Structure 1
Amino acid sequence: MSVKEFTHIGQVLPGAMKKYRRESDGELVRIWALWDQAVGPAVAENARPAAFRGDLLIVHVTSSPWVQQLRFLKHEIRSKVNSALGGEMVRDIRFRVGAL
């Protein structure tokens, strides 16, 4: 019996998302890859990008209080994500309670 090596989720996720999502969601894969670093550990633990439509980023959040908190930080998060993407791709962010 052979022992398989573990693969980091960051190496698996882009391929899985490409396989199960529309081609237009390729930008969401990019946002997923940079999300943790752009928003920091506390936000990343409680919020995850769920969809990217045009210039609107939809983010699922663990609870209503987190939705409220992130609304206050929306412009800062948008700026950090756009900076990491290298351009003004995200013009608006909507936060919703949902599964991470």
Structure 2
Amino acid sequence: MGETPEGALVRELAEELSIEVDPVDCMVGAFASDPDQRIEHRSPYVVLLYTCRRWRGEIVPCDGQAVRWIARDALDSLSMPPLDVPLAAWLKKGG
């Protein structure tokens, strides 16, 4: 509560990837919303895709996770949740 989306992003990047990011370097690039918001027991939600081209530190995944860099044209080869599909399409277009 009381945290901006950018503040949450900065905090999560520090917690999950051990990097420091200045909120001014985070730009919303695209978003996807839950297409099935009519279901009564579910709250609607939106996924924001941020671009960040500057950070401090070396990316170190936490909690036994893995990180890899891939080419934009390889995004289609990844399995992903439904809300990530339009975000990947945006990235492929040069986002």
Shared fold per TM-score greater than 0.5: no
**Greater relative contact order (CA < 8 Å, ≥ 6 in sequence):** 2
| Structure having the larger proportion of residues in helix | 1
TM-score, normalised by the number of residues in structure 2:
0.27
